[in-house]
Amino acid sequence: MSEDLYQEIILDHYKNPRGKSVFMTSLGESHQVNPTCGDEVTVHVGSGPDGTIQVSYECQGCSISQASASVMSELINGKTPEEAAPIQAAFIELMQSKGKLEPDEEVLEDGIAFAGVSKYPARIKCALISWMALADAQIRAQLTPAPNNSGTD
């Protein structure tokens, strides 16, 4: 896929952010700051009746950070922690790939647009900040995948 198309996806999420104010009870929140760029994001995580993750966020900063928060919300909202974990891992892996990884559209959907961003070390944190806030909020909300081999407590 071309850089132009990636740019278009990022701009679209920046201009039309998804899931910005989902109505829910917040079980955990995380506020993250990226001082080098000035991005700030707060992610709230709640739980649906079926144990799925609900995500709501506020984000201020550059177009990459805001677009990434929108993509994160779109991809994670309504997923179980077990379904969300491989998506989260794939996005972080993509951002650490320095542009060398071919992103899997079936897993990352619009998240593939950030493949180009991973070539620019100064912008990687912009793309990751909302995902870091999500992971932190999930821990606070205890909405992380259950370990495979342990019993209940």
Residues found near Zn ion in the complex (CB under 5 A): 37, 39, 61-62, 65, 126
DSSP string, 59-120: EES-HHHHHHHHHHHHHHTT--HHHHHHHHHHHHHHHTTTT-S---HHHHGGGGGGGTGGG-
SS (H, E, C) 109-128: HHHHHHHCHHHCHHHHHHHH
- Asked if 82 and 144 touch (Cβ cutoff 8 Å), the reply is no
3-state DSSP helix/strand/coil percent for the chain, to nearest 5? 50, 15, 35
126 or 128: whose CB is closer to Zn ion?
Answer: 126
Q: How far is the CB of 64 from Zn ion (least distance, A)?
A: 5
Q: How far is the CB of 97 from Zn ion (least distance, A)?
A: 19
Q: How far is the CB of 126 from Zn ion (least distance, A)?
A: 3
37 or 107: whose CB is closer to Zn ion?
Answer: 37
126 or 135: whose CB is closer to Zn ion?
Answer: 126
Q: Which residues contact 2 (CB under 8 A, 6 or more apart)?
A: none
40 or 83: whose CB is closer to Zn ion?
Answer: 40
Joined tokens for residue 28 = 């955990």
30 or 65: whose CB is closer to Zn ion?
Answer: 65
Q: Minimal CA–CA distance to 84: which of 124, 33, 119, 43?
A: 43
Q: How far is the CB of 2 from Zn ion (least distance, A)?
A: 23
